């Protein structure tokens, strides 16, 4: 592990993931942590983990980002004491809180996501994974099918404030960069000792648009979810057909 991204969700985690990959780093974002480290993370988030757990999980990975990894940055630093720490921030608490609230509300109240979670065991696992991460971060579990998410802005702001304050207090100053994605390549590349790429700095997941692109065909997890949905719908269709057939046959018997 070379880089620990300690920035909270909605501070530019998707953008920094894309940027680090452009610079040649292998990155485990939330999707990869779910796909490849699900069992390890569920253990860590429920009963705890050790530096050895993180060493095994990330021995061949350059960086990790987003939930739940960003909340365990301090434990990861014990496993990788020479790693650089990247703390992304927004201009104000209010800006971050508005963005975070929008993302949580979209996840909680998305009818498509709720339906998929009922049809796909893989998606149910993803929901459990995200809920545990949100529980660790905010002490609540807002993502639930057909459940209205009620925001607690004060709680969100306190979580953001406390997390950032802890990083600033504890992280070694010579290994830490406090960064806004609006700064682009220069300060990031200087911190990492990389050349500035020719392509523009990426800006991803604006206004929570991640849900619009959440099931790209090339993602292994997405393909599994689609297979499970197809099988579930086929099973439902067969069940309806069987019931209809029995109903028709019964009607003939009483004619």
The per-residue pLDDT for range 170-218, each reduced to its tens digit, is: 999 999 999 999 999 999 999 999 999 999 999 876 655 544 544 444 4
Same domain, 87 and 107: yes
Same domain, 149 and 242: no
User: What confidence tens digit (pLDDT) does each residue in 51-65 have?
Assistant: 999 999 999 999 999
pLDDT over 80 (residue 29): yes
User: What confidence tens digit (pLDDT) does each residue in 180-190 have?
Assistant: 999 999 999 99
pLDDT confidence of residue 126: 81
pLDDT confidence of residue 241: 52
Mean pLDDT of the chain: 81
Domain count, the chain: 2
Same domain, 209 and 228: no
Same domain, 230 and 114: no
Respond yes or no on whether the N-terminal peptide bond of residue 195 is cis (omega within 30° of 0).
Answer: no
Query: With left for phi above 0 and alpha for psi between -120 and 50, is residue 10 left, alpha or beta?
Result: left
Same domain, 181 and 234: no
Torsion on CA atoms 185, 187, 193, 197, rounded to nearest 10: 10
Using the 8-state DSSP alphabet, how is residue 64 labeled?
E
pLDDT confidence of residue 233: 42
* 190-167-143 Cα angle (round to 5): 110
Neighbouring-strand partners of residue 27: 63
pLDDT over 50 (residue 30): yes
The mean per-residue pLDDT over the stretch 36-62 comes to 95
Q: Which of 60, 7, 68 is nearest to 43 (CA)?
A: 68
Pairwise pLDDT comparison (128 vs 185), residue with the higher score = 185
Pairwise pLDDT comparison (128 vs 49), residue with the higher score = 49
Same domain, 195 and 225: no
User: What confidence tens digit (pLDDT) does each residue in 218-252 have?
Assistant: 455 555 545 544 554 454 445 455 454 445 445 55
The mean per-residue pLDDT over the stretch 92-117 comes to 76
Neighbouring-strand partners of residue 177: 86
Pairwise pLDDT comparison (94 vs 223), residue with the higher score = 94
Same domain, 32 and 150: yes
pLDDT class of 90 with cuts at 50, 70, 90: very high
pTM score = 0.78
Same domain, 131 and 174: yes
Same domain, 181 and 71: yes
CATH number of domain containing 204: 3.40.50.300
Pairwise pLDDT comparison (138 vs 49), residue with the higher score = 49
Same domain, 205 and 223: no
Structure tokens at 138: 């905010």
pLDDT confidence of residue 103: 82
Same domain, 207 and 227: no
Same domain, 106 and 198: yes
The boundaries of the domain holding residue 244 are: 216-255
The mean per-residue pLDDT over the stretch 32-54 comes to 94
In the chain, which ranges are E strands? 3-5, 27-28, 63-64, 84-88, 176-179
């Amino acid at each position: 592990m070379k880089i620990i991204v300690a920035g909270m969700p909605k501070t530019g985690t998707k953008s920094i993931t894309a940027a680090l990959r452009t610079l040649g780093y292998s990155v485990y974002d939330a999707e990869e942590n779910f796909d490849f480290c699900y069992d390890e993370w569920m253990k860590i988030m429920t009963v705890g983990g050790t530096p050895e757990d993180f060493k095994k999980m990330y021995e061949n990975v350059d960086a990790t980002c987003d939930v739940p990894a960003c909340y365990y940055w301090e434990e990861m630093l014990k496993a990788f004491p020479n790693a650089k720490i990247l703390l992304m921030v927004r201009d104000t608490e209010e800006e971050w809180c508005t963005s975070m609230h929008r993302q949580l509300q979209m996840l909680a109240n998305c009818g498509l996501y709720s339906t998929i979670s009922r049809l796909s065991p893989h998606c149910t696992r993803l929901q459990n994974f995200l809920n545990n991460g949100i529980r660790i971060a905010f002490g609540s579990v807002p993502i639930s099918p057909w459940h209205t998410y009620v925001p607690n802005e004060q709680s969100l702001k306190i979580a953001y404030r406390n997390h950032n304050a802890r990083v600033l207090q504890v992280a070694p100053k010579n290994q830490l960069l406090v960064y806004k994605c609006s700064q682009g390549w220069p300060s990031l590349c200087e911190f990492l000792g990389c050349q500035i790429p020719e392509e523009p700095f990426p800006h991803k997941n604006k206004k929570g648009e991640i849900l619009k692109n959440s099931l790209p065909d090339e993602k292994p997890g997405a393909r599994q979810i689609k297979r499970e949905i197809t099988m579930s719908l086929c099973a439902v269709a067969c069940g309806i057909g069987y019931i209809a057939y029995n109903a028709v046959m019964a009607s003939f018997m009483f004619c």
